[in-house]
Chains A and B, each alone.
Chain A
Amino acid sequence: MASIFRTIADLWSLVVGLAITGKEFCRPGVTVHYPRAEVTPESAASFRGPIELIGLDKEPAKPRCIACMLCVSACPSGCIAVTRAPAPKPTPEELKAIAEAEARGEKPKRPAPPKAPGTWTYDFSLCSLCGSCVEVCPVDSIGFSNDIYMVGTKREDFVFDQLARLARKAAARKAEPKPAAKPAPSAAPEAAPAPAASPSETGAATPASEA
């Protein structure tokens, strides 16, 4: 008997479901008819595109990356290749000091290589956008870009030199006339540098046709 009443009470959930879909039916659609309509920065912000390096807060052209190689080993597709930056060349004075120290039989102190990447290449054609690298990065130096316009006609177009890309992006942002403090999603006000800025921010080899 109790189960009968419960079943009848549960019927109400059907009405709730219908009310939800009915309400959604009446709301405007969220699809952007892309070539005919412009994609708003807000909807582009939720796009998880090819990964990119994130710069230091103070020096946006320099990546936060410490070349720990965790991302390289975490990547299931092997699409990330990082090399450490070489140690800085000792100046003539330092060379002299080292030579003297060696002559004295001491162990000279050579300049250590910096904790920074020398090269940082990323092959988007292999990437499955799983986000393991984003998750594993200890210094939050990797993030998904939201570049929805990336286009390429050759395989090589999808191999990115991320360091160069980061530098280019930082330069582009510097050139921009300060469109608020929003970070990545290139909060370009529609009028000014939007069409010019976004292709320049695109991938490394960027043929990113605007057509």
Chain B
Amino acid sequence: MNATISFDSVLHVVLALVGVAVFVGLNGLLLVYAERKVAGFIQRRPGPYEVGPQGILQAVADALKLIGKQLVRPDRADPLLFWMAPVLAFFPVLLLFLPLPFSPLLTGWDVNLGLLLILAFAGFNVLALLLAGWGSNNKYGLLGAARAVAQSVAYEIPLLLAVLAIAFQEGTLSLSSIVATQGSMPWQWNIAVQPLAFLIFLISALGETNRAPFDLPEAESELTAGFHTEYSGMGFGMFFLAEYANMIVACSVCTVLFLGGWKGPFLDGAWWFLAKVYALLLAMMWFRWTFPRVRFDQLLNLNWRWLLPLGVLNLLATAFVMKL
């Protein structure tokens, strides 16, 4: 990294952050709408239909409702922690978008430790969930927070192992270089060499982003809403946005590491990146409306008894092959 920080580079990062905030906001609306439509179609319902043509304004209406609602804090909740949690959940996520190479020209901050930056700042999300559950003086919140911590800590390990396998193979932590070493054709992508790492990454990413079937921290049938039970209005909205933003980040990293990033047949560019990210997001929604939620012991068993050993074996094999 450059030791000198010029005004230009700071400006660049600030502009990128603003762009990312817009991107996350718009995608929040888009993904909420897509999620509800996917749920509807899978259950052969129309999904949102009445607000705007085909219901496309439904997400906007929901967002306006969330913004307009009163923020309520439970009587004996810790005010500082309670209000810090949603902020802490949302804002670090914006940072995660900075090193993502949308295309060779469209990279917020092409830092050579991009992967590390993402993995480091992604950890903030757990802290935010913990603070939310702890600070709201609610038993469901606390249980949800405890689950979130156990789950995130557990799933971070196979996630790291899968990422490490790629890092070993490429010899770099810079996301742009990882894309650069992959070719345009699908069989030149890393998924062709590292299918197991891809699978482990995908499952761990579901666990890390608390998506179904691993949505235990907010399991509505058991914990009402888990860690965000007590949040109303934009407090809840921030968690919601953060969840979708985290999904986008996870899918983007997956695209970069395994699916060739912005490279694709015919014409390389940001459209390939976005197409792959949205395909992965769609798959995540598909999983959500297909698989039932796992029990907590199943969740941890899957992680410690399957993903972790497989991840280690995969990493060892990668290291062995690289050494040869």
Residues of A within 8 A of B (CB): 7, 14, 17-18, 20-22, 24-25, 27-31, 33
Contact = CB atoms under 8 A, between A and B. Distances in A.
B41 A25 contact: yes
Interface string B273-287: 000000000000011
B286 A29 contact: no
Interface in B21-64: 38, 40-46, 49
B291 A14 contact: yes
Contact of B286 (A22, A28, A33): A22
Given A18-B286, A21-B289, A31 B44 contact: yes
B42 A25 contact: yes
8 contacts: A18-B287, A24-B42, A29-B40, A29-B45, A30-B45, A31-B44, A31-B46, A33-B46
A20 B291 CA distance: 11
B49 A24 contact: no
Nearest to B37: A25
Contacts of A31: 44-46
B290 interface: yes
Given A22-B286, A33-B49, A17 B291 contact: yes
Contacts of B45: 29-31
Interface of B: 38, 40-46, 49, 286-287, 289-291, 306
Contacts of B46: 29, 31, 33
Nearest to B49: A33
Q: Which of A14, A31, A33 has the most CB of B within 10 A?
A: A31
Given A25-B38, A31-B46, 5 more contacts: A18-B286, A21-B289, A21-B290, A29-B45, A31-B44
A28 B42 CA distance: 10
A21 B49 contact: no
Contact of A21 (B40, B42, B306): B42
| 4 smallest beta-carbon distances between A and B, as pairs | A21-B290, A29-B44, A25-B41, A21-B42
Nearest to A23: B42
A25 B40 CA distance: 8
Nearest to B302: A7
Nearest to A22: B286
A20 B49 CA distance: 24
B295 to A, nearest CB: 16
A19 to B, nearest CB: 9
A30 B45 CA distance: 6
Contacts of A24: 41-44
A21 B286 contact: yes
A46 to B, nearest CB: 15
A24 B41 CA distance: 7
A33 to B, nearest CB: 7
Contacts of B49: 33
A13 to B, nearest CB: 10
A22 B45 CA distance: 14
Contacts of B40: 29
B302 to A, nearest CB: 10
A102 B230 CA distance: 84
Contacts of B290: 17-18, 20-21
Contacts of A21: 42, 286, 289-290
Nearest to A8: B306
A39 to B, nearest CB: 15
Q: Which of B38, B40, B41, B290 has the most CB of A within 10 A?
A: B290
Nearest to A4: B306
Contacts of B286: 18, 21-22, 25
A25 B320 CA distance: 43
A29 B291 contact: no
Nearest to A20: B290
A31 B291 CA distance: 23
B282 to A, nearest CB: 10
B44 A27 contact: yes
Contacts of B44: 24, 27-31
A204 B40 CA distance: 37
Contacts of B289: 21
A67 B154 CA distance: 68
